[in-house]
Chain A
Amino acid sequence: MDILDILLSASFWAAAIRIASPLIFATLGELICERAGVLNLGIEGIMVAGAFAGWMAVYSGTGLWTGVMVAMVVGMAFGLIHSVLTVPFGLSQHVVGLGVTLLATSSTYYAYRLALPEVTSPPKITAFQPFEIPILSDIPLLGPALFAQTPMTYLAFVLVGLVSIVLYRTPLGLALRAAGENPSAVAAQGLSVTGIRMGAVIVGSGFMAMGGAFLTMSAFDSFFFEMVNGRGWICIALVVFGAWKPGKALLGAVLFAAFDALQIRVQQTPLGADIPYQIFLMTPYVLSILALIVMSRRAEVPGALMVPFNKGER
């Protein structure tokens, strides 16, 4: 009965959408990379770097949107490192990705200590505030859940549509998907596989950093090192869950976030008093593994994912 009440409350769904937002940004970023044929395991570190960069920019006096841009540019810089190593040099995407995660995380720590040497608790910024969209936010249940969010959440949803359109309706999207399916088809048409793949990784990494920035600039108003907390890895799973399609990936992100929001609330019910809270913490992950198994069985993996392309090789 309690659970039903929770599921019917607007605050629960508002929380779910809020928790989903950073996942949406980063999942879209990973999806773009993988659609072009590059697995980007730098995602976790790039999110940390993005979270720090956006927050730091705003703390140093820039506007909020400028902060988002700064986060994106920092993410793209790490994307550039990743893509140079994995695309023209054709190094192992696993190794490079984990390397970028370590590099981004540790350089963020370094930059943090450099910028704030004597601070014990990180300073707060004035984060994005919820913006109620007139009329739409008055719809019962749906209104407060969907249309009373921060602007960055709206941006995340817009980006899902945008990426979808680019992937399926434009020549650029066609070339990008072909680079991930069969790069020699792209090369045979006189296009640059290297250019397309590098571009995808750089832009995708920018999106990942925006996902990180959401955490410090929209969900909270400060920066902690543990705040990304494996969200990047969840996004890798969400791409598979979404069968490499933006719409389905969005659905997966919301679903995961809903489980997360639910378990927090169930902990506070009488049921939560009897069962160790770790069980609740575990549920979103267990449920997403189950959902992943069901959903990904018929997914079509990009044919050339993780396959480096070397021109002229016999």
Chain B
Amino acid sequence: MTGAEAAQVVLRLDRITKTFGKLVANDAVSLSLHRGEVIALLGENGAGKTTLMNILFGQYTADSGAVEVFGRALPPGNPRAALDAGVGMVHQHFTLADNMTVLENVALGTVPLWQPRLDRTAVRARITRLADDFRLAVDPDARVGTLTVGERQRVEILKALYREARILILDEPTAVLTPQETDDLFATLRKAVALGLSIVFISHKLHEVMDISDRVVILRHGCLVGEMATKDTDRHALAAAMVGAEVSAPKVAPAAPGAALLRLGEVSTPDQGNAPGLKSVSLALRAGQITGLAGVSGNGQAALADLIGGLCAPTTGQFDLDGANVAQWSPRTAVQSGIARIPEDRHKTGTIADFNLTENAILESYHTAPMSNHGWMNWARAEAATEEIIARYDVRCPGPDTRIRLLSGGNMQKLILGRVLEAAPRIILANQPVRGLDIGAVNYVHSQLLAARARGAAVLLISEDLDEIMALSDVIHVISEGRLSPEFARGTMAPADLGVWMAGHGFDEGLAHAS
């Protein structure tokens, strides 16, 4: 990037303010973006990053403030104007139609509605050319529903490029990607910057921010609290600026494992569509110990979680709780046996979006005393219990009668934690417990899991984040194609060694060694 180009400001936000009810999402935020520059917009969940970008893109209307693109003011609340001005947005939740092809999704809205015909050949040629230029390999005639998450994201980027976007906004683009796909995305972004595009990259992952950005802008509680050149800062300083306090990794005391509370002996479960079931898996969850389950997503983690959570039963093999064979197994018996479930997808299976906090807090206990008696709900008791969770687990919300849809991911997760941990469970199934959470919330969840371990609970931690697994687990298993590796004690394996197992190597020899 030369000095002359750097001087050209392509985007300017001027004192943007936006409130939702009592919540101030953006408080007089100003920033500018130059040609060929990557700005990282950094902040915790709920800091107002997405709101700011939605205002820029015209999906929300700001209460006050102005947006200027290439020196011209953008009319508020008009996505069309933003698109025409050269702003392209890749949303966190993709705006693609699954039942339609890549080509149709890209072409949507690019030609006048009343034009008699859609020239598919021309669209296809242009998609192919852009895909080559920006290294975005994707089949134009594939149905979006059949694509992987990484491919869908490429379609979103293609959509923006197809409309000749000069400014790309990417909202948490890596949250859904594997490390390999993230590398591919970054290669594409570097290519785009080299071709003179400018990028706003929203994230709360510090190493990515350090990796891709030229400048970092930090938002906290809707205010711009810091702005610095990436080369002049480091992860530590960014983390501190983001949460407003020094952050430290959790201290892990030595483990004192007790008896095996849950034991699987050569258990197999049916495949679930494309995802493999368990293949002759043996596993012991011991009291006072965190067992980490590493592996690439879709290798049987869901099957194991469903099995322990009571959603499916083993087809073959031995399933023991406290040394006794389990005969009848359902989610309800699982909960009654003292298993706490932190589900993988808190929106889909962890909460009911339009229920309020109280109703969500008692989802697992509403049918028993004290939440209900003889078939009558005891709402006063339920609300009191929820107030307690809110206070003890620091759930930031207007009150227990708020719809949970309105909470940020981190606060939603805290409520789920409170729901399952208040019952002092003996076995905790933590499936991707910190996915999509910011640093503050991550540390909080981790400290709660460690506290449960200290109290003598057996924890199964399922995560795709190897750093998280290695930081917390006392013993580690790797899962691949539904098969489980032998147990590795803390510190005996380097990430690269685990990576070999994650890639599916070593199972046949390994099992022979283990037995």
Contacts and interface: CB of A to CB of B under 8 A. Distances in A.
B20 interface: yes
B249 interface: no
Nearest to A191: B109
B273 to A, nearest CB: 15
Contact of B59 (A175, A187, A303): A187
Contacts of B84: 190
Interface stretch (A38-46, A165-173, A214-222): A165-173
Contacts of B391: none
Given A171-B111, A177-B97, A190 B79 contact: yes
A181 B100 contact: yes
Interface in B91-117: 91, 93, 95-100, 104-105, 107-117
Interface string B380-413: 0000000000000000000000000110000000
A177 B96 CA distance: 12
B97 A185 contact: yes
B194 interface: no
B456 to A, nearest CB: 40
Nearest to A179: B97
A187 B57 CA distance: 11
A175 B115 contact: no
Given A177-B100, A190-B78, A191-B113, A169 B118 contact: yes
A175 B98 contact: no
B444 interface: no
Contacts, number: 89
B177 interface: no
Given A178-B100, A190-B79, A314-B406, A170 B109 contact: no
Contacts of B114: 171-172
A190 B109 contact: yes
Given A174-B108, A314-B406, A188 B91 contact: yes
A164 interface: no
Contact of B117 (A170, A181, A184): A170
A171 B98 contact: no
Nearest to B106: A189
B118 A170 contact: yes
B507 interface: no
Contacts of B371: none
Contacts of A186: 108-109
A311 interface: yes
B80 A171 contact: no
B89 interface: yes
A188 B79 contact: yes
| Chain A binding surface SS class | helix
A185 B105 contact: yes
A314 B405 CA distance: 8
A141 to B, nearest CB: 37
A189 B20 contact: no
A90 to B, nearest CB: 14
B115 A170 contact: yes
A178 B107 CA distance: 11
A284 interface: no
B118 A303 contact: no
A184 B111 CA distance: 18
A174 B112 CA distance: 11
Nearest to B105: A185
Contacts of A185: 95-97, 105, 108
Interface string B45-65: 000000000000001110000
A151 B105 CA distance: 38
A171 B113 contact: yes
A188 B78 contact: no
A56 B424 CA distance: 74
A187 B110 CA distance: 13
B9 interface: no
Contacts of B97: 177-178, 181-182, 185, 303
A181 B108 CA distance: 12
A186 B95 CA distance: 8
Nearest to A302: B99
B153 to A, nearest CB: 14
Contacts of B312: none
A235 B112 CA distance: 32
A187 B97 CA distance: 12
Contacts of B117: 169-170
A312 interface: yes
Contacts of B100: 174, 177-178, 181
Contacts of A312: 59-61
Interface string B181-205: 0000000000000000000000000
B487 to A, nearest CB: 43
Nearest to A190: B80
Nearest to B112: A171
B95 A182 contact: yes
A312 B80 CA distance: 15
A185 B108 CA distance: 8
A287 B100 CA distance: 32
Interface string B1-44: 00000000000000000001000000000000000000000000
Contacts of B108: 174-175, 178, 185-186, 189, 191
A174 B96 contact: no
B275 interface: no
Contacts of B80: 190-191
Contacts of A171: 107, 110-115, 118
9 contacts: A171-B118, A175-B108, A181-B98, A188-B95, A189-B79, A189-B110, A190-B83, A311-B59, A312-B59
Given A170-B118, A172-B113, A303-B98, 13 more contacts: A171-B113, A175-B109, A175-B113, A182-B98, A185-B95, A187-B79, A188-B79, A188-B95, A190-B81, A191-B113, A303-B97, A311-B59, A314-B405
Interface of A: 169-172, 174-175, 177-178, 181-182, 184-191, 300, 302-303, 311-312, 314
Interface of B: 20, 59-61, 78-84, 89, 91, 93, 95-100, 104-105, 107-118, 159, 405-406
Of all A-B residue pairs in the complex, the 8 with the closest CB atoms, nearest first, are A190-B80, A189-B109, A181-B97, A188-B95, A185-B95, A182-B97, A171-B111, A190-B79
